[in-house]
Structure 1
Amino acid sequence: MESQTAIANPTMKKILILVNSVILFTSTCAGPLTTRLYFVRGGSRIWLSCTSITGGFPLTIFLLVIAYFHRKKSNGLDNTKIFLMTRKLFIASVISGLVTGMVNYFYSYGSAKLPVSTSCLLSSTQLVFTAIFAFIIVKQKFTSYSINAVVLLTIGAGILALGANSDRPRGESSKTYIAGFIMILLAALFYGFVLAFNEVSFRKTKKAIAFTLVLEFQMMMCFFATAFCVVGMLINKDFQAIPRDAKQFELGEDKYYMVIVLNALIWQVYFVGAVGVTCYSSALLSGILIAASLSVTEVIAVIFFHEKFGGEKGFSLALSLWGFVSYFYGATKQNKKRKNINTEVEVTQSPPI
């Protein structure tokens, strides 16, 4: 289930997969909540919201500067390269960034119209799209455990969808509500493509995938996604409307800007985790983690936004967690089997004493 991405130290690879998985899981829980908080408390600028999702990319520059000087000190060379990214990876980051910009808009529009629990259940369908694109683009091999996880998470989302209309916010028209549904589904569709596209882009590189290279790719991807959204802000005249939007914010002007900044920070952490998990493991694992964490987000949304939590949501949450456990049990079992095979090969090939 893991990609064949080159990395110098296998142990370090496992550590990076674990660290990025934790980062991805936690930030996916928090991201939808801060995005929805902006709209629930009176924010109305969709292009501003989608810009903040990837707008925190300059923070990555500090990490890259530290990595550069560490690399320069270690190598003891004056001609140490500033960037490790190849031309092909740069082009891939541009494509991924522009598509991510579209995903940002679709997701922000849907988040403005739908409760967090509803948008999360629709967002979890990205796992299905990720699996489809991983099969087509990456030639992903599925096991019975990964298939089981996809099926369970899909059924869970379907069960929630049956009762989703009861969550429609007061004063929201059916037409607007349906538009929000479609936008979130489009976001799930295109982001499924982004995860698979990023994985195949890293697979094709012949360089060892250092975390610095991952940060470079993620920064450029977010830069072009943000540029796409900023153009939308300019066309929609969001920059002129921000002061007025801040004055109407229920929590106050200061909190308005704090929410925007917090949203940018959380989503930036999310993208670091998503790109990291994808390049060190697989797009499918990213999809599993995202889908599983969205189920947790539904529960948190009930607590903070007082959203309804009926029996169908509880059953869906159980199915999602079951699918999550199924995937990792399968991964553990497959890794153990692979180690046994490698051990047998080493014993067979050992020279006689």
Structure 2
Amino acid sequence: MAVRRREAPKAGGVNPNPNASTKVWLFSLLLTLQYGAQPLISKRCTSREVIVTSSVLACEVVKVISAIMLLAKDGSLRKTFKDWTLIGSLTASGLPAAIYALQNSLLQISYRNLDSLTFSMLNQTKLFFTALFTFIILRQRQSIQQIGALFLLIIAAILLSIGEGSSKASSSRNPDEILFYGIIPVLVASVLSGLASALCQWASQVKKHASYLMTVEMSIIGSLCLVASAYKSPDGSAIRQHGFFYGWTPLTWIPVILNAVGGILVGLVTSYAGGVRKGFVIVSALLVTALLQYIFDGKPPSPYCLVALPLVVTSISIYQKYPYRVRKKEL
């Protein structure tokens, strides 16, 4: 009896066609730059007076406009919305949209209270939670190497949490403020990201929901959730008192638009090249973040970051290189 090893298809993976090679490289480069620069740009262009809910809502509006333009460009806009139903929309996009709305708010808070490199590395823990929830919801298993890689990622996150939460020398700000308004929000956002990613994958694979349509639905539903919560939240009170664009400058639109474009680029990279190229983008983006932080802020990475960075890079590289393989027996 012979045993043949067959690699299970990667979630969302689509091998790029030779004719699409230029597009793959272009989209990957743009996403790498956007992902790596986003924390730094958000911190420099968004003042602390800007109300978090206003920036999140503005980003969702840009996402909707971008997704509709892309649907119109590829000629599928009329057919997509002709086949649309409210029940199908709520089933596929309702819960992920509400989760992503909360996640985005937490990320906006964390951006302002952590240095760019620490934020980017802690944000990588979403890979662990994505793996966990895809196993729970879709029964998608991990290889031994991938499980080891995920443990490396958690060790890196713990190192960063200890370093940023206890070292007063690393920042003039209160360590408790860094912990509760920087580290904890981004870790909770990672958990939510993993759950929402698994639900979106379920909607895509089981419900066969189109990617750009989900972007529109989730942005609208998420925005409605934020507007509803604003009636009782401090952000809602601040908007009613000071106005929606309180603290905004023309520069505030830069991170808002970049964040929305990044969401579109993720879909394009996954569509053309699959998960492996997206993993390469994530690793490269960490190095871009470190480089930009040193160039523009003149701040070299802390000792904790220097230890955690190779752990994060190694973890994500191993995770992408050694996917789970199904053993298929043949007589």
TM-score by shorter chain over 0.5: yes
Q: Find the counterpart in structure 2 of residue 194 from structure 1.
A: 196
Does the 8 A contact of 2:119 with 2:186 survive in 1? yes
Q: Find the counterpart in structure 2 of residue 159 from structure 1.
A: 159
Structure 1 residues 204, 281: CA separation in 2 closer, same or farther (over 3 Å shift)? farther
Q: Find the counterpart in structure 1 of residue 178 from structure 2.
A: 177
Structure 1 residues 4, 296: CA separation in 2 closer, same or farther (over 3 Å shift)? closer
Does the 8 A contact of 1:35 with 1:49 survive in 2? no
CA distance in 2, matches of 1:23, 1:83: 33
TM-score (norm 2): 0.75
Shift of 1:81: 5.2
Query: Which ranges in structure 2 are unaligned for 5 or more consecutive residues?
Result: 1-7
CA distance in 1, matches of 2:9, 2:272: 8
Secondary structure of the 1:163 match is: helix
Q: Find the counterpart in structure 2 of residue 125 from structure 1.
A: 125
Query: What do the CA deviations read for 1:246-302 (whole angstroms, capped 9, x no partner)?
Result: 4xxxxxxxxx53332222221112222445566888889867854763454244223
CA distance in 2, matches of 1:297, 1:65: 34
Q: Find the counterpart in structure 2 of residue 318 from structure 1.
A: 310
Q: Find the counterpart in structure 1 of residue 67 from structure 2.
A: 60
CA distance in 2, matches of 1:91, 1:120: 32
Query: Which ranges in structure 1 are unaligned for 5 or more consecutive residues?
Result: 73-78, 247-255, 346-353
Query: What do the CA deviations read for 1:131-165 (whole angstroms, capped 9, x no partner)?
Result: 21121112112123433432333333333333213
Query: What do the CA deviations read for 1:79-130 (whole angstroms, capped 9, x no partner)?
Result: 8554566753553222211111111111112222222233223222212211
Quick check: 1:293 aligned with 2:312?
no
CA distance in 2, matches of 1:273, 1:168: 34
Identical pairs, percent: 20
Does the 8 A contact of 2:51 with 2:238 survive in 1? no
Secondary structure of the 1:237 match is: helix
Structure 1 residues 142, 24: CA separation in 2 closer, same or farther (over 3 Å shift)? farther
Choose which of 234, 259, 271 in structure 2 pairs with 1:267.
Answer: 259
Which has the larger Rg?
A: 1
Structure 1 residues 121, 10: CA separation in 2 closer, same or farther (over 3 Å shift)? closer
CA distance in 2, matches of 1:149, 1:14: 31
Shift of 1:227: 3.0
Q: Find the counterpart in structure 1 of residue 206 from structure 2.
A: 204
Does the 8 A contact of 2:121 with 2:309 survive in 1? no
Does the 8 A contact of 2:164 with 2:175 survive in 1? no
TM-score (norm 1): 0.71
Q: How does 1:6-155 map onto structure 2 within 5 Å?
A: 11=17, 24-39=31-46, 41-57=47-63, 58-68=65-75, 80=79, 82=81, 88=88, 91-155=91-155
Instruction: Indicate the larger mover: 12-21 or 55-64.
Output: 12-21
Secondary structure of the 2:322 match is: helix
CA distance in 1, matches of 2:97, 2:272: 19
Identify the structure with bigger relative contact order (alpha carbons < 8 Å, sequence gap 6+). 2
Number of residue equivalences: 312
Structure 1 residues 186, 282: CA separation in 2 closer, same or farther (over 3 Å shift)? farther
